[in-house]
Structure 1
């Protein structure tokens, strides 16, 4: 989606006052967020587009995998050369897989992992798209752990813990997507977080300020959070930009802690007890909330200093009604691709362009 670098006076039917922005922001009434895509896409929104950009496996080998052994070999952290890896079907197991730099991992329609935790540790330039991740037990980490890594784009994925997540208890699973230990330049976009206690943690400890301060720049854009207890996200020390997202049926959504600065724009909160807060740490964090629909709840975080003018990339804000209507439809693993051959001799349904799967 191209951005118009113009000034707009934006009126939202929302709980926050009407702002005036003079940064590279446009407000649109769109019919779909999930437009055409390609396996050669690089990150074009959020912090992942900075610091030299995030291109993943662009220009590398193309292969498809359907077993845990094949996947582990294809993405090994020992392999730094660019590669595009397609996941076909649901790969099940009880394992944690560490993934090497310069990789693009894309799920074919309905494909992903059950019980398998993915980890980006001390890596860079990684893209994860169109993957469904479910039911990763705490022993295998998070659905996705981003640790000491830079330039990561997670797009059009779904992370969930199944319909019985409450019965399992809050510690049976760990996080859905956690960003920790000084990771930086991360974008999570068009992604669904579903059925989980502790969804997304940015900054793992109050005592890790030496490593985290000045890092943990993260964008959450066009995401759908539903049936989540907390951490949508919970962010310590870092800098967060959260916009165009829908939160439904949650206890605590955005929790800013330990001096974190968060800009929260154009989000919808439905049946969320604490949409924006600062809890659970020895020091508060801060938030600037603009143009959000908080429902009957309130923003309880101390006012911060992060503004649209201080965001270092262009971004598009949707009309608040479009956010509510469209984001839940388009978020998640909703992309489908045209067929092409891969370099390992198999026929893949994904090269060239992608189409969005529309939910009714």
Structure 2
């Protein structure tokens, strides 16, 4: 029988770490790292195993994550950190020690190696706190959500990157994560998944990247050509303006991804980059492959892709789209084995597998995802975070029908995804017989106005036959990314009066297929 042992912090740790130590527990004997094994380029250069063979620690605060890193015998001692709960600025402090180099307001994986961070239990959310990997190697990040990380406004973290890597990084596997923002650079956000300054042998798999101006880049400028050997597979890119990804030099393997609503450009191969682009599904998008915004050409090898309602710009000096009939202009040799799903089943496979809290499901190339792998469960005792998560303003919607003018009528609408046959506009047309559904069991829909509008109440009306399918939700000020309230069940939801231009209703949990017939908004 395993006996939980409280983690002992070394005497060199800062006093602040002791506050988070109550949220950290060790289990003996040694446990394995993440579920499954690395894929793609992360299997090369000696492979990526993260904290396999080391101790397993549970953390419920950012400070506790830093304390676990700093308590190791050395900066390379293997460790798996199981994370549950919400990590935010209030519970992420700097911790000092000989085996770490951390900072407040960001998860700092700097000058270290052999680390796994994996979400467990009810899930791990890094809320406005980014993950920074610098001068590090053999890192695994799995089954977590990172959202609304900003480089301007308040609070800021990690230069606005959800996950960022720089300065001699090697062998990183990021798997089954959800990376999301609430806008582009003008709203204070940067990239969701960035690599620069000599970062190599990285795989991003079974993940969701959405609602951002920038998906991610490889290389910070046309002169930063030291990066490469990156694999992207079975990911969903949704509602992204550009950089899906942007490649400056290096080699990338991009296969079995589902791209939806790439608004300006998609895979941007430039400055000599070479991309092998196989069996992806592109839908409702523009300029999904080519060299854009530069005259420094990049190259691609294409096969088996589907282009569904994709539009292409005319070629110009700084824009060379690959379409409308993409042809290969290089060849790329892949050194590892992999199995391709047929492109026509990629939307279904990715919908069932990609993102955090999907049971770590994967595909074997047969267009039929494997049965869910068990999500890791905490092995130590449950603990309370040092800084409690904010209490929802109104956790239970009231049943009373609001009075006053429904501000949604005549407003605009958009969202994270939509199921076939549904429309964002259906939620503000005043007709309860039409509705919007997300492409999966979770998703978001927004009401937006051309000028700031005061709102203090919304009413979510489910379509006939779907009552009760919406289980958990958040209401977000899309201008700032701030959560106005969260709770359970559809109906009338109130929160402090807020003036904004866009308000988002995000379904975070449901049974069946959620259907929102009307998303009403009221000033009071």
TM-score range, shorter chain: 0.7 to 0.9
Distance 2:125 2:378 in 1: 20
Structure 1, residues 114-167: CA drift from partner, whole Å, max 9, x if none? 1111111010000000010001111422111111200000000000014xx26x
The counterpart of 1:294, out of the listed 273, 298, 307, is 307
Cα deviation for residue 44 of structure 1 reads 3.5
Distance 1:75 1:159 in 2: 23
Cα deviation for residue 256 of structure 1 reads 0.3
1:42–1:55 Cα contact (<8 Å) kept: no
Could you tell me the TM-score, scaled by structure 1's length? 0.78
Spell out the pairing of 1:133-282 with structure 2 (5 A cutoff): 133-138=146-151, 139-140=156-157, 141=159, 142-147=161-166, 148-162=168-182, 165=183, 169-170=185-186, 172-209=188-225, 212=226, 215-251=227-263, 252-282=265-295
Distance 1:177 1:266 in 2: 22
Gaps of 5+ in 2: 1-31, 90-103, 313-321, 360-373, 384-439, 442-512, 514-524
Distance 2:281 2:53 in 1: 39
Q: Which has the higher Rg, Structure 1 or Structure 2? A: 2
2:34–2:140 Cα contact (<8 Å) kept: no
Cα deviation for residue 71 of structure 1 reads 1.5
Give the structure 1 partner of residue 144 of structure 2: 131
Give the structure 2 partner of residue 95 of structure 1: 105
1:323 aligns with 2:346: yes
1:131–1:158 Cα contact (<8 Å) kept: yes
Could you tell me the TM-score, scaled by structure 2's length? 0.54
1:339–1:347 Cα contact (<8 Å) kept: no
Give the match's secondary structure for 2:266: strand
Q: How many residues align?
A: 301
Higher relative contact order (CA 8 A, sep 6+): 1
Give the structure 2 partner of residue 47 of structure 1: 41
1:181–1:203 Cα contact (<8 Å) kept: yes
Distance 1:340 1:267 in 2: 36
Gaps of 5+ in 1: 1-37, 349-357
Over 3 Å counting, the alpha-carbon distance change for 1:284 and 1:302 in structure 2 is farther
Q: What RMSD in Å do the two structures reach over aligned CA positions?
A: 2.2
Moved more, 290-299 or 149-158: 290-299
Distance 1:117 1:200 in 2: 14
Cα deviation for residue 294 of structure 1 reads 1.4
2:38–2:173 Cα contact (<8 Å) kept: no
Give the structure 2 partner of residue 85 of structure 1: 81
Give the match's secondary structure for 1:69: helix
Distance 2:139 2:79 in 1: 10
Over 3 Å counting, the alpha-carbon distance change for 1:269 and 1:40 in structure 2 is closer
1:56–1:126 Cα contact (<8 Å) kept: yes
The counterpart of 1:70, out of the listed 64, 67, 71, is 64
Cα deviation for residue 312 of structure 1 reads 0.5
Cα deviation for residue 340 of structure 1 reads 5.4
Cα deviation for residue 50 of structure 1 reads 0.7
Give the match's secondary structure for 1:72: helix
Distance 1:75 1:294 in 2: 45
